[in-house]
């Protein structure tokens, strides 16, 4: 028995050693592949690239006799601009018939040409929209990027519409987005840093901040986290989860926007912005809870109107989390708090309902979420029809069937409308999720449950940080002077007077 155990141990060591050897040999092969040199023969180069691209049929080649040389082109026809191919490459090549040093002449006549020392670089250039130029017996390749433009035009984001102000938005190209920001903010202190946050080397991320305004400690913290990020996913939500302080919290700690004016406004306030290639969303950090209830519309309106809008949004937050829970608590535990004019109609509407208020509320909330999700996924015209007709038909049907009370329909409808006034979709989703916790607490112990849950919510908000900045600032820690542009929109003439007085004192 001991000998069999010993032989099994030796066998496992042998298998493990073989596995480690195969892994090390595979890694060595991969390391060699990274630096495969350019072959001196075009056929070898083309066969190697074709094999690596799995013999894809959009990989094209052209062989052109120039002077006494044989010049060859390799490109992906689905990635390049045919007109630029003629203007930037074919025309200059035709003018080099009497040239001896072809590579040197091409470098001088062709704009944006680059030298590639190995085939790995050459293949990366191909997928980025470049044409490879090879001269027989040369140890390098040349590449010219003539990528076909597939970018959409700059339009207003559909999820962040405003009445007054700029109506442009970011697109899926990081360079264009940076250009839009720099055109709005012509400031030499605007600093840009690039990062490689995905396994795809052709995609990059950018960190933007005003060097003379942004806190250095905050920028250093963001910089360290971005350097550690490595993911195969390119959606901003993945980057957001990997760099934020409390990824398990239901509250978003990074502001997501597609609006350049919102980005510029936050940069001027000392915040940093992260842009992702092939994504129209910008990530703004650090932010606090009240940042999600501010809109560019506030600053394009008179201060009193802007303050009223902001108050309505914050009121919507309290209606969303409290109204269904209060209804459940009052119907289940505290019927006596209702005044007589309300008591009889509500009591009459809930007679015959076969289940408790919590189940009634959950059914309606889930139906509403299903209608909302269906409206988003369907084409625009059909989605709007489903949202309106579906809500009316289902609401009327469940009331007539005696499954849901009229009062519950009103409560759920008001809650839904209140949740949609939040300018940030992430915060809107969060508070819709949180309200279920309040509803459950109200169903268990009534109003004390709502109070207890609200205390837990406030404690949680006070514990959150966004890159070293308190999330519930200026409420916790309390800072009265900063409430002027948090709960209300601070009048512009106050800011002007204060800045003028400050200059006079200096």
Q: Is the pLDDT of residue 152 over 80?
A: no
What pLDDT does 287 receive? 93
162 assigned to some structural domain:
no
What pLDDT score was predicted for residue 11?
47
Judgement on whether residues 132 and 188 belong to the same structural domain of the protein:
no
pLDDT at residue 494, rounded to an integer: 65
Whether residue 153 is contained in a domain is answered as no
In a domain, 20, yes or no: yes
Do residues 271 and 307 share a domain? no
Q: What's the rounded Cα separation, in Å, for the pair 353 and 90?
A: 79
Statement to judge: residues 16 and 48 lie in one domain: no
Q: Tens of pLDDT along 71-110?
A: 889 999 988 888 888 888 888 777 776 556 677 777 776 6
DSSP state of 37: B
pLDDT at 502: 36
Q: Indicate whether 498 belongs to any domain.
A: no
282 and 347 belong to one structural domain: no
pLDDT digits (tens, 9 = 90+) for 370-408: 888 888 787 777 767 777 777 778 888 888 888 888 888
- Give the pLDDT score at 414: 92
Is the domain of 55 the same as that of 78? yes
Residues 428 and 465 in one domain: yes
Q: How many domains does the chain have?
A: 4
**Is pLDDT at 503 greater than 60 in this prediction?**
no
In this structure, the answer to whether residues 304 and 224 fall within a common structural domain is no
Least confident range from 2-16, 133-147, 320-334: namely 2-16
Same domain, 24 and 50: no
Distinct helix (H) and strand (E) counts, the chain: 20, 12
* Stronger pLDDT, 40 or 322, i.e. the higher one: 322
Instruction: Round to whole Å and give the CA distance between 116 and 30.
Output: 19
Q: Does 150 reside within a domain? A: no
pLDDT of residue 34: 59
Helix (H, G, I), strand (E, B) or coil at 231: strand
In this predicted structure, the answer to whether residue 18 has a pLDDT above a threshold of 50 is no
Instruction: Determine, yes or no, domain membership for 140.
Output: yes
Find, among 379, 412, 382, 378, the residue nearest to 395 by Cα: 412
pLDDT mean across residues, the chain: 82
Rounded distance, CA 6 to CA 198, Å? 46
Q: Poorest-confidence range of 88-97, 211-220, 321-330, 452-461?
A: 88-97
Mean pLDDT of 288-312: 88
pLDDT of res. 81:
87
Say which residue, 180 or 347, is predicted with more confidence: 180
Are 309 and 443 in a shared domain?
A: yes
Structural domain containing residue 17: 1-31
Q: Give long-range contacts, CB 8 A cutoff, 24+ apart: 212-217.
A: 213/189, 213/267, 213/268, 213/269, 213/270, 214/270, 214/271, 214/272, 215/270, 217/468
For residue 18, count CB atoms less than 10 angstroms from its CB and return exposed for 0-12, middle for 13-18, buried for 19 or more.
exposed
- In this prediction, residue 463 has a pLDDT band, given cuts at 50, 70 and 90, of very high
């Amino acid at each position: 028995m001991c000998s069999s155990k010993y032989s099994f141990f030796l066998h496992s060591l042998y298998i493990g050693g073989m596995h480690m050897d195969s892994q090390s040999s595979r890694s060595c092969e991969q390391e060699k592949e990274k630096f495969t040199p350019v072959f001196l023969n075009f056929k070898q180069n083309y066969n190697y690239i074709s094999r690596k691209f799995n013999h894809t049929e959009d990989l094209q080649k052209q062989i052109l006799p120039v002077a006494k040389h044989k010049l060859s082109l390799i490109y992906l026809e689905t990635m390049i601009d045919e007109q630029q191919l003629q203007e930037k490459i074919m025309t200059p090549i035709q003018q080099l018939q009497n040239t001896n040093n072809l590579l040197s002449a091409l470098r001088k006549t062709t704009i944006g040409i680059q030298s590639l020392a190995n085939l790995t670089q050459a293949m990366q250039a191909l997928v980025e929209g470049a044409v490879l130029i090879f001269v027989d017996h040369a140890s390098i390749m040349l590449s010219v990027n003539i990528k076909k433009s597939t970018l959409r035009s700059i339009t207003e984001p559909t999820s962040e519409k405003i009445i007054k102000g700029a109506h442009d938005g970011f697109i899926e190209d990081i360079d264009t987005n940076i250009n839009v920001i720099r055109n709005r903010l012509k400031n030499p202190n605007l600093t840009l840093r690039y990062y490689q946050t995905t396994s795809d080397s052709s995609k990059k991320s950018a960190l933007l901040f005003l060097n003379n305004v942004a806190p250095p400690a905050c920028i250093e913290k963001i910089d360290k986290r971005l350097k550690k990020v490595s993911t195969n996913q390119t959606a901003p939500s993945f980057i957001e989860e990997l760099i934020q302080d409390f990824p398990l919290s239901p509250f978003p700690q990074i502001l997501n926007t597609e609006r350049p004016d919102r980005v510029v406004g936050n940069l001027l306030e000392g915040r940093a912005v992260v842009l992702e290639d092939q994504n129209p969303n910008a990530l703004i950090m650090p932010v606090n809870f009240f940042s999600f209830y501010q809109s560019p519309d506030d600053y394009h309106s008179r201060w009193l109107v802007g303050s009223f809008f902001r108050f309505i949004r914050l009121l919507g937050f309290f209606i969303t989390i409290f109204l269904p829970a209060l209804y459940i608590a009052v119907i289940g535990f505290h019927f006596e708090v209702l005044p007589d004019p309300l008591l009889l109609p509500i009591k009459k509407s809930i007679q015959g309902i076969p289940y408790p208020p919590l189940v009634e509320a959950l059914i309606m909330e889930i139906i509403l979420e299903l209608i909302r999700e269906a409206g988003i996924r369907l084409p625009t015209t059909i989605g709007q029809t489903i949202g309106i007709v579906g809500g009316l038909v289902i609401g009327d049907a469940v009331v007539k069937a005696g499954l849901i009370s009229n009062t519950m329909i009103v409560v759920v409808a008001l809650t839904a409308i209140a949740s949609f006034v939040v300018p940030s979709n992430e915060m809107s989703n969060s508070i819709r999720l949180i309200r279920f916790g309040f509803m459950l607490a109200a169903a268990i112990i009534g109003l004390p449950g709502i109070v207890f849950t609200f205390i837990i919510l406030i404690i949680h908000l006070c514990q959150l940080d966004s890159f070293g900045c308190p999330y519930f600032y200026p409420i916790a820690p309390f800072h009265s002077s900063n409430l002027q542009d948090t709960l209300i929109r601070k009048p512009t003439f106050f800011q002007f007077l204060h800045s003028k007085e400050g200059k006079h004192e200096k």
